[in-house]
Structure 1
Amino acid sequence: MFDTLKKSIEEMLERHRQQPFLDACMASCALVAMADGKVSLSEQSRIDDVLEAIDRLSLFDVHEAIDLFNAYVDGIRENPVKGRKAALDTVERMADDAESGELLVRICLAVSQADGDYARSERDQIIGVCSRLGLLLEDFE
């Protein structure tokens, strides 16, 4: 019983530790997906793929992550300037973690290429993400 309790506590602590990355990931995905004003089915599918593929995100219920993504999308829809600023402020919390920042940029690129069209508006959003993280997009393209 003690081992089960200990494992449960360790999982809760790990989820707590990874929450800022989940927040930044869903914020950056929303920025890229909403770059053209709408979230496509292929972008939604790519985000699902990301949630399944990245170990740090597998700690979370997929519905929790998608709800978070949708909240950022709704914020951008309701007030594009304020919504994008809120998402970028969330992304910026990862600026001191180079590994997480680089992974976020790679995730953004994956979402931007989901529909086979790497649009200028998507690239501009990724540049904004890179700027907040202290990275250059050219290092990833």
Structure 2
Amino acid sequence: MALWDRVKESAQSMQTQLMAKKNDLKSGAFRDASMAMCALVAAADGQIEPAERQRVAQLIAGNDVLRAFPADDLQRRFGANLDKLTADFEFGKVGVLQEIAKAKKKPAEARAVIQIGIVIGGADGDFDATERGVVREACFALGLPPEEFDL
């Protein structure tokens, strides 16, 4: 199986797992951590192109698990996290990882945040090393072993 196919299959598998837990994923901590994760993956290389920002925003809007929250609220939170990361990536990353860590108290939510990062990272078929690296850092912030997610 080609790498491209494995990435797509993994992202689809994560989305299926998220859908199974959809009714349990409605807290503010999950919402905030998910938007921080989306921003972190989108800006993993330290910058974000307008087209990439738009693509991730569309993925957020189209994600069935995240539809429990108002779309404009999600976009605002995603944008605020991206602004932190683009202003000063290393400093912003500290704040964004703290936001992600808010989901640590509920293991199911923490795992779902990581799964969202994998879904967003793999949506274009190229879950690259930089994206994998920031999702791995998020695992540590959430107290989860990266190996659980093949990171």
Paired amino acid for 1:122: E
Identify which of 53, 57, 67 aligns with 1:44.
57
Identity %: 27
Larger mean Cα displacement after TM superposition, 37-46 or 111-120: 37-46
Is the 1:43–1:112 Cα contact (8 Å) retained in structure 2? no
- Whether 1:94 and 2:103 are equivalent positions in the alignment is yes
Superposed CA offset, 1:79-115 (max 9, x none) = 1112111110011111121000110011000000111
Structure 2 residue ranges without an equivalent (≥5): 1-25
Larger mean Cα displacement after TM superposition, 120-129 or 36-45: 36-45
**Once the 2 structures are TM-superposed, how far is the Cα of residue 43 of structure 1 from its aligned partner?**
2.8
Larger radius of gyration: 1
- Whether 1:78 and 2:93 are equivalent positions in the alignment is no
Is the 1:105–1:126 Cα contact (8 Å) retained in structure 2? yes
Query: Corresponding residue for 2:10?
Result: none
User: How many equivalent pairs are there?
Assistant: 121
**Once the 2 structures are TM-superposed, how far is the Cα of residue 42 of structure 1 from its aligned partner?**
3.5
Structure 1 residue ranges without an equivalent (≥5): 1-16
Is the 1:31–1:125 Cα contact (8 Å) retained in structure 2? yes
- Secondary structure of 2:123's counterpart equals coil
Query: Corresponding residue for 1:58?
Result: 67
Is the 2:57–2:75 Cα contact (8 Å) retained in structure 1? no
**Once the 2 structures are TM-superposed, how far is the Cα of residue 47 of structure 1 from its aligned partner?**
2.0
CA distance, structure 2, for counterparts of residue 69 and residue 86 of structure 1: 13
